[in-house]
Structure 1
Amino acid sequence: MFLDLAFAKAESLKNIIPLSKNKKIELTASVARMKSKQIRQTFLDFFENKKHQIVASAPMVIKNDPTLMFTNAGMNQFKEYFLGNSDPKNNRVADSQKCLRVSGKHNDLEEVGVDTYHHTMFEMLGNWSFGDYFKKEAIAWAWELLTEVYGIDKDCLYVTIFEGDKSENLNRDTEAYDYWKELIAEDRILNGNKADNFWEMGAQGPCGPCSEIHVDIRSDEEKAKVDGATLVNMDHPQVVEIWNLVFMQYNRMADGNLKNLPAQHVDTGMGFERLAMVLQNVQSNYDTDVFTPLIREIETITGHSYGKTEQEDIAIRVIADHLRAVSFSIADGQLPSNNGAGYVIRMILRRAIRYGFTYLGKKEPFIYQLVNTLSKQMGDAFPELKSQKNLILNVIKEEEASFLRTLENGLALLDSMVASMKNDGVTVLDGKKAFELNDTYGFPKELTRLILSEHGLQMDEDGFAKALKKQQEGSRKASATETSDWTTLREDDTQEFVGYDRLSGDVRISKYRKVVSKKDGELYQIVFNMTPFYGESGGQTGDKGYIESASGDTVYIIDTKKENGQTVHLTKNLPKELDGPFKVTVDAHQRARTAANHTATHLLHQALRKILGTHVEQKGSMVRSASLRFDFSHFSKVTKEELVEIENFVNARIREQLPLEENRNNTYDQAIAEGAIGLFGEKYGDVVRTIKFGESQELCGGTHVKNTADIWHFKITNETAVASGIRRIEAITSDAVKDFFAEQSKSFEEIKEILKNPTKSPAESIAALQEENNALKKEIEQLKKAKAGNLKGDLIDSTQLINGVNFISSKTDLDTKSVKELAFDIERDMENLFLIIGAENDGKATLTVILSKNLIEEKNLNAGSIVRELGKHIQGGGGGQPHFATAGGKNAAGIDAALVAAEEMIK
């Protein structure tokens, strides 16, 4: 085995490999069983010795790139360098990047847990060169690290190179081949096709050939039977890719053509979990110490042992994997929600809950209990897990409780469907209904299939797949966007932002392109060499304004976004003279309102920490010209008294007329040391901007007022919960507050005019009206009961005996509550009862069916099935239990037909 040879290699190197002046690795027999922490640190030390700058992992949740929701590869945070939009401070960097792959092109979700080497959240060890070294150094260092430092036997490794592609007019990567053959036997250098060995960022952008390094960790007996070369890229669990060396030398244009990049780059990515599997001499990523602490905790909590049954093993793997993805996402500021990135996180967590519910029998929240283990295990490498532990734990616990309630409701609905199927002699559940259970109620397809099988029934798999495909196609069409290539007018212009100091300026267009989407129609994106426009980022919406040419031609800028480090201006049409020059002007009124709201969020943050406690941390914000929204960590509802105190605190800072103190050239460490607050989930550069108003000091790139007096006044309009442990305050400032008070005053005068009671205050008059209204309500209820009581006798007298069933039907104008009470009242007094009541209220129809319980078994009747069929007459639908069910519809004229149809059922 390669591990034995690794030990021999260690001896030949005298057990020590120098990495730098102060860093050494002891390459003893234990190297093959390195702990994951050592594996990660060894990688970073190695490349630091190769003059790489070691950088921190970027947040896994991406906030300022409209093309991505999550970091799905190590290169994401460096896109602007590959695209040439900005220059790196160091041409060589390395890191361990946390990544998430669950949507889009890189979607491994369905394999996660089923196999042993795909993950949702994973670490990508990577080294990069931005126009510095290229194939020779990248290949040599990868080989050195794997074989000499980590001690992996060369005879266990295979490498692949790009074989070329005639359709793209791309030749075989003979340059990489020539470098590899100096290090490894030529029969271990394999050709790879475009799908495997030509890496692309997306439909457009930097791309190039790549060399993958694969490892074969099968036993000697298995290797003797089957040549490992035949298993490369064949999804064999023990012959896996561990490192991909991408050589970026082309740019994919919108029309599909490839152009040479002005500089050649290296982008490598090595799967940390897979590397740990190799070095720890195990056959599965889940058998490494990356996952075993979580698996042991799951065993303890659930009472199920890993390694006994395949289904339980899959469930345990899914839970261990998904916990990591959800925890890191929450730590980076992305809470589960019903849209966007939050929807993806909720979907991942619910998948874990489903597996625990179905295969481990967990009907109560339990996944949240694993957060402590994860925090202890990975908190040193990723300190956000420690600092955000309580938030992560509480959010997951609340999401579990909520979804388990959904599962309970889904079970009741599915039970009703099963009863109806048996009643109608149907053995296959309609695929559309199964999909509706999944899509509308969040009820998992796997659980539907399992429960049906327990009743000897099946699910229409094809129908489910068709319904899913139809929904996906609709979503794709709705969000489809066609983006043309950039037309570059000035290659050397580097965009400069001047919007902190002025709201207009003379500019030239650097590049532009057309974007067509179903949502927004045809728009143009324009990048200027300089701009005073603030692009949407950090929770603040983008500026609006206009472009003016020398000839007086005016084009309006309807929005401004940040994309790959540049400010992009959106317009509905292009200027007539693209060469310029132009004058651009920001809408000063909207900017001032937005700035007031942004500064107010800082003062609000200060107030919350002062009044509620220093545990409060910002978890998100939305700053617009009209209003502000601020999300923060806090584990109870903010009381009315606290809200008043918070509002008063902010307004006191406004009255103090605090001037803006700004530092645009501070280092991150220095700013934090000086007391500035940074936000978790934000990626800060080497140079940061600090904003200070009195004792409020934060890292912020947004726009602000020059003095707090410019805010005028601060008014909270709403306080609510966003998720477990997360509260939201919505508020207004400036002109919006003036408009609010004016509207309040107007409403107050209107109320006084309506009340017309000079002897009482409006509040006293309204209290008197409420008291009178409550008395009238009680009187109406008593009249309804009397009416229903009179109707009860009439209905019993109208009973028809049909085929041994006491059949009663009636049409009334009683409300739904009264009809229900009447139906149960009659059912208590009669046996063999089939009662149907049709009611019309405000032009809408309801049908109520109640059956004596003996009829359900003796006559094989089901109120839910009956009311669904009769509901067609009133153009509606409904359901319920076999004993009692209701339907609602919009066709009140169909009530009589429904009553006749019910009688025909009995006959």
Structure 2
Amino acid sequence: MTSQDVRKQFLDFFASKGHLIVPSAPIVLKDDPTLMFNNSGMAQFKEYFLGNGTPKSTRIADTQKCLRVSGKHNDLEDVGFDTYHHTMFEMLGNWSFGDYFKKEAINWAWELLTEVYKIPKENLYVSVFEGNPDENVPFDQEAWDIWKELIDEDRIILGNKKDNFWEMGDQGPCGPCSEIHVDIRSAEEKALVSGKSLVNNDHPQVVEIWNNVFMEFNRKADGSLEKLPAKHVDTGMGFERLCMALQGKTSNYDTDVFMPLIEKVEQITGLKYTSNEVLNISEEQNKTNIAIRVVVDHVRAVAFAIADGQLPSNTGAGYVIRRILRRAIRYGFTFLNTKEPFINQLVAVLANQMGEFFPEIKSQQQLVINVIREEEASFLRTLDQGLQLLENVVAETKGSTVSGTKAFELYDTFGFPIDLTALILREKGFELDEAGFNAAMQEQKNRSRAASEVSTEDWSVLIPGNVETFVGYDQSESDVKITRIRKVDSKKDGVLYQIVLDNTPFYPEGGGQVGDKGLLVSANETIEIIDTKKENNLILHFAKKLPENVNAGFIAKVNQDLRSLSSRNHSATHLMHQALRSILGTHVEQKGSLVNPNYLRFDFSHFAKMTETELQQVEDFVNARIQEQLPLVERRNIPFAQAVQEGAMALFGEKYGDEVRAIKFGESMELCGGIHVKNTAEIWHFKIVSEGAVAAGIRRIEAITSDAVKAHFASYENTLNEVKSALKNPQDILKAVHSMQEENAKLAKQIEALVKDKVKNLKTSLIAEIQEINGVQFLAKLVDLNPEGAKDLAYELGNLGNNLFLVLATADEEKPMLTCYVSKELVAQKNLNAGQVVRELGKFIQGGGGGQPFFATAGGKNVAGIQQALDKAIEFVK
């Protein structure tokens, strides 16, 4: 049974049980501030469990792309070393929102596994919650009784809170669960040791494949539990583990989920992977196997994250993706001997393998390849740089133990992996101060944790059962009542209050547009709303204080000035998207955006830097649409398929409902939930202020409109007036500037000639000062030249003969510079290296530098240290 068959049979089975089959949500979450990534199948349904929304059906089934590499669920460091943990994995799931409960969920799970997939019953074990008297949660007798009708009682295991009580987080819906484990060991192994004793004990062939969670409680901030108003079922089955069991393998990596990728790695590297069936493999082969598993696992996570819109970066979710990819590159570099980018070559295999069910990996294939290839090349350069820096650390180390603090600097500042540091040090006969490294790492984690600590109180519900409505498309003021409030205390923002209203004109941050600000005004007081966000389908209004009377009636007033500026930038973003596709080609797709009152930022797929002509064409295109005074044509609640069929642009990585909102200005039509102008004339004017690269194949434009353009032109006019004044108010400014440039070029040539004469004169006088020390011609001297002159002088002296070791210092414009020249004969014979010399001497001038073994320079900022550096230079030849 192929993996495609396994997935299809699961979905077909639950469709036959009345479930609506829905697509996977993007792996990257954009509307849930509590999670970076979808880390479980239930993440996209949180609002339904919390009672903040109504699902399309009370029965749903899907397969969800999940990523577990940060926070509470973090499997990253296990990946590769065992055969069943992954970063990205598929979670097959079926859901009941207040419909069926334990009886149906358990019976259907058993029917699917034993009758459809035909897993032998004697290979399965199940667990039920043993209860927790401290929390007044009883033993799950109902689940026990259902299971004992299906399976022998000696195959039912009692599980504790850790294994058999599932919680969404520190607060929120939770409940007992019933796991299903499969034993895929050989008959001989089963005869020796009971599988029951191996359940939940990290045995690689006795693994959990399915968890049925029975949501019936809500965990409050104080840790207590209360009953939910409705009971729900939330199940998750590990797709990769299920394939392992059904394909008769003892490792997830031996299934057809991973083997095509593994075979491609074998082809690229010339190395062989041994399956889990092979016994007594060598230590070297084991390292190869681990590295290949790391690579094929990690490329899936990175590729799908990029396809869903998350580019590698240095912060947040982007940093996590970069870290995963760099771990794969590092394993390839160290254990597969891959010194050139190669992981990007696996994307085509992945797209061919999974593109039918996850079309985004097909449609975004070239972008994913480009981004991964560039990240690989960049990190391989970092590894080369790190190797050189590590050489310097080793050279400075007294004794045989390298400082853990120094190793942490390499890791933290340059991204050089600590395990690679340790490996290289061992090869050189050095030890790593692991305790020092761990202490530095822990200190950083403590700082990070302290900065991100958040305590959230339970909601205080003032008006139960209210369904909040958004009225901001039509009005900027509304009569409102507060329905619920809660206090949030964080190190970053201090104490804030989140307020939910019965209806609201405030737009919550989303689709790149920032949240509205404004006021809540009652008869007796005014509360400032400093931000608006959306979480689990609730619109949260942030305030630094609560009203004295939270039960009063209020008028919610949006700051219309700020909103108007944001709306102009948002509408201009749509017009610019249209312009880019028209001028550059339809390969252009939006990959990210930011819209606020001050400016707009737009990331898009394109393979080359835009020319000045193209940028001007985009500006002209957008400004032409502004001058046409195009009216907004807004269509709400139209079917998604109809909107796309009519030409609306849908963005990859966004989650759309069955009904959507379409925004149209002339020929520009996009699906969008943001706030827009009523007519393009309101934008006034559009001006691009920058264009540059974000990643391989991704460009970024920043632009301004409206009041910001007026300020921009006013600033240019002021600058022009200042230039005119500095040039003594000439009639023709351009002619005056050209005249000044020509005069400057003449003076530069004269200076260059003078410096050359000075170099010749100095050369003659310095020859007499060269000393011979241990067979080396040595000179260290402060010279009155600029850095370029010092370089010319060094080469002039170097051409006179062999065995020259020269250090020249300059202090041109009070900027110290050291120039070192080493004859190539000395580099080979005396092991002298100009790069190492200037790095050492550069410390005296509070700077550093580098170069080639025969020529290098170092700049600094401490002129007073020049003489010390020159005095130290002689030690290299003594």
1:800-811 correspondence to structure 2 within 5 Å: 800-801=771-772, 806-811=777-782
TM-score by length of 2: 0.94
Per-residue displacement from partner, 1:132-159 (whole Å, max 9, x unpaired)? 2222221111111111111111111111
Q: How many residue pairs were aligned? A: 869
Q: Which residue of 1 aligns with 2:277?
A: none
Report the alpha carbon displacement of residue 241 of structure 1 after superposing the two structures with TM. Answer: 0.6
Structure 1 residues 622 and 799 mapped into 2: Cα distance closer, same or farther (>3 Å)? same
Q: Which residue of 1 aligns with 2:316?
A: 340
Report the alpha carbon displacement of residue 95 of structure 1 after superposing the two structures with TM. Answer: 0.4
Distance in 2 separating the partners of 1:706 and 1:55? 35
Q: Which residue of 2 aligns with 1:678?
A: 650
Paired residue type of 1:316 = I
Q: Which residue of 1 aligns with 2:749?
A: 778
Q: 2:162 aligns with which of 177, 191, 195?
A: 195
- The answer on whether the counterparts of 1:852 and 1:883 sit within 8 Å (CA) in structure 2 is yes
Paired residue type of 1:811 = L
Give the secondary structure class of the aligned counterpart of 2:234.
Answer: strand
Report the alpha carbon displacement of residue 834 of structure 1 after superposing the two structures with TM. Answer: 4.6
Q: 1:605 aligns with which of 577, 602, 617?
A: 577
1:568 has 2:531 as partner: no
Q: Which residue of 1 aligns with 2:235?
A: 268
- The answer on whether the counterparts of 1:406 and 1:442 sit within 8 Å (CA) in structure 2 is yes
Q: Which residue of 2 aligns with 1:7?
A: none
Q: Which residue of 1 aligns with 2:683?
A: 711
Q: Which residue of 1 aligns with 2:192?
A: 225
Give the secondary structure class of the aligned counterpart of 2:811.
Answer: strand
Distance in 2 separating the partners of 1:140 and 1:102? 33
Q: Which residue of 2 aligns with 1:13?
A: none
Distance in 2 separating the partners of 1:72 and 1:796? 71
1:455-474 correspondence to structure 2 within 5 Å: 455-474=428-447
Q: Which residue of 2 aligns with 1:128?
A: 95
- Bigger mean CA deviation after superposition, 457-466 or 885-894: 885-894
Per-residue displacement from partner, 1:747-775 (whole Å, max 9, x unpaired)? 2233233324645x322322222222223
- The answer on whether the counterparts of 1:864 and 1:882 sit within 8 Å (CA) in structure 2 is yes
Q: Which residue of 2 aligns with 1:18?
A: none
Paired residue type of 1:56 = P
Per-residue displacement from partner, 1:408-460 (whole Å, max 9, x unpaired)? 33333334444x25xx6643332233232233223333333333333333333
- The answer on whether the counterparts of 2:606 and 2:699 sit within 8 Å (CA) in structure 1 is yes
- Bigger mean CA deviation after superposition, 38-47 or 798-807: 798-807
Q: Which residue of 2 aligns with 1:204?
A: 171
Q: Which residue of 1 aligns with 2:639?
A: 667
Distance in 2 separating the partners of 1:408 and 1:904? 29
Q: Which residue of 2 aligns with 1:407?
A: 383
Structure 1 residues 206 and 351 mapped into 2: Cα distance closer, same or farther (>3 Å)? same
Distance in 1 separating the partners of 2:836 and 2:53? 65
Q: 2:790 aligns with which of 815, 819, 827?
A: 819
Report the alpha carbon displacement of residue 472 of structure 1 after superposing the two structures with TM. Answer: 2.1
Structure 1 residues 588 and 304 mapped into 2: Cα distance closer, same or farther (>3 Å)? same
- Bigger mean CA deviation after superposition, 178-187 or 741-750: 741-750
- The answer on whether the counterparts of 1:200 and 1:207 sit within 8 Å (CA) in structure 2 is yes
Q: Which residue of 1 aligns with 2:371?
A: 395
Structure 1 residues 879 and 717 mapped into 2: Cα distance closer, same or farther (>3 Å)? closer
1:754-793 correspondence to structure 2 within 5 Å: 754-756=726-728, 758=730, 761-793=732-764
Give the secondary structure class of the aligned counterpart of 1:547.
Answer: strand
Structure 1 residues 789 and 202 mapped into 2: Cα distance closer, same or farther (>3 Å)? farther
1:353 has 2:324 as partner: no
- Bigger mean CA deviation after superposition, 773-782 or 593-602: 773-782
- The answer on whether the counterparts of 1:431 and 1:460 sit within 8 Å (CA) in structure 2 is yes
Distance in 2 separating the partners of 1:337 and 1:83? 33
Distance in 2 separating the partners of 1:614 and 1:276? 39
Report the alpha carbon displacement of residue 81 of structure 1 after superposing the two structures with TM. Answer: 1.0
- Bigger mean CA deviation after superposition, 875-884 or 309-318: 875-884
Give the secondary structure class of the aligned counterpart of 1:808.
Answer: strand
- The answer on whether the counterparts of 1:416 and 1:864 sit within 8 Å (CA) in structure 2 is no
Where does structure 2 lack aligned partners over 5 or more consecutive residues?
275-280
Q: 2:488 aligns with which of 486, 508, 515?
A: 515
Give the secondary structure class of the aligned counterpart of 2:104.
Answer: helix
Q: Which residue of 2 aligns with 1:20?
A: none
1:550-561 correspondence to structure 2 within 5 Å: 550-551=523-524, 553-561=525-533
Q: Which residue of 2 aligns with 1:256?
A: 223
Q: 2:255 aligns with which of 277, 288, 296?
A: 288
Q: Which residue of 2 aligns with 1:27?
A: none
Paired residue type of 1:272 = F
Distance in 2 separating the partners of 1:859 and 1:714? 64
Report the alpha carbon displacement of residue 876 of structure 1 after superposing the two structures with TM. Answer: 4.7
Paired residue type of 2:174 = C
Q: 1:494 aligns with which of 448, 458, 467?
A: 467
RMSD: 2.4
Q: 1:79 aligns with which of 34, 41, 46?
A: 46
Distance in 2 separating the partners of 1:613 and 1:862? 52
- The answer on whether the counterparts of 1:157 and 1:216 sit within 8 Å (CA) in structure 2 is yes
Structure 1 residues 867 and 96 mapped into 2: Cα distance closer, same or farther (>3 Å)? same
Report the alpha carbon displacement of residue 905 of structure 1 after superposing the two structures with TM. Answer: 7.3
Paired residue type of 1:498 = V
Per-residue displacement from partner, 1:52-110 (whole Å, max 9, x unpaired)? 11111001010111111110000100111111112223111110000111111111111
Q: 1:543 aligns with which of 516, 531, 534?
A: 516
Q: Which residue of 2 aligns with 1:29?
A: none
1:310 has 2:310 as partner: no
Q: Which residue of 1 aligns with 2:600?
A: 628
Distance in 1 separating the partners of 2:876 and 2:673? 71
Report the alpha carbon displacement of residue 873 of structure 1 after superposing the two structures with TM. Answer: 4.1
- The answer on whether the counterparts of 1:555 and 1:571 sit within 8 Å (CA) in structure 2 is yes
- The answer on whether the counterparts of 2:179 and 2:210 sit within 8 Å (CA) in structure 1 is yes
Report the alpha carbon displacement of residue 702 of structure 1 after superposing the two structures with TM. Answer: 0.5
Q: Which residue of 2 aligns with 1:151?
A: 118
Per-residue displacement from partner, 1:232-258 (whole Å, max 9, x unpaired)? 111111111100111122222222222
- The answer on whether the counterparts of 2:393 and 2:406 sit within 8 Å (CA) in structure 1 is no
Structure 1 residues 775 and 461 mapped into 2: Cα distance closer, same or farther (>3 Å)? farther
Paired residue type of 2:287 = Q
Distance in 2 separating the partners of 1:475 and 1:425? 32
- The answer on whether the counterparts of 1:416 and 1:880 sit within 8 Å (CA) in structure 2 is no
Report the alpha carbon displacement of residue 850 of structure 1 after superposing the two structures with TM. Answer: 4.7
Give the secondary structure class of the aligned counterpart of 2:222.
Answer: coil
Give the secondary structure class of the aligned counterpart of 2:699.
Answer: strand
Per-residue displacement from partner, 1:633-658 (whole Å, max 9, x unpaired)? 12122222222222222122112221
Distance in 2 separating the partners of 1:514 and 1:454? 55
Structure 1 residues 751 and 844 mapped into 2: Cα distance closer, same or farther (>3 Å)? closer
Give the secondary structure class of the aligned counterpart of 2:57.
Answer: coil
Q: 1:690 aligns with which of 662, 665, 670?
A: 662
Distance in 1 separating the partners of 2:132 and 2:48? 27
1:524 has 2:497 as partner: yes
Give the secondary structure class of the aligned counterpart of 2:257.
Answer: coil
1:170 has 2:146 as partner: no
- The answer on whether the counterparts of 1:757 and 1:765 sit within 8 Å (CA) in structure 2 is no
Q: Aligned residues: percent identity?
A: 63
Per-residue displacement from partner, 1:486-534 (whole Å, max 9, x unpaired)? 2222222111100000001111111222222232222222111111000
- The answer on whether the counterparts of 2:730 and 2:736 sit within 8 Å (CA) in structure 1 is no
Report the alpha carbon displacement of residue 804 of structure 1 after superposing the two structures with TM. Answer: 5.6
1:374 has 2:350 as partner: yes
Structure 1 residues 304 and 508 mapped into 2: Cα distance closer, same or farther (>3 Å)? same
- The answer on whether the counterparts of 2:460 and 2:485 sit within 8 Å (CA) in structure 1 is yes
Where does structure 1 lack aligned partners over 5 or more consecutive residues?
1-33
1:48 has 2:24 as partner: no
- The answer on whether the counterparts of 2:639 and 2:659 sit within 8 Å (CA) in structure 1 is yes
Report the alpha carbon displacement of residue 690 of structure 1 after superposing the two structures with TM. Answer: 0.9
- Bigger mean CA deviation after superposition, 250-259 or 664-673: 250-259
Give the secondary structure class of the aligned counterpart of 1:731.
Answer: strand
Q: Which residue of 1 aligns with 2:2?
A: 35
1:279 has 2:246 as partner: yes
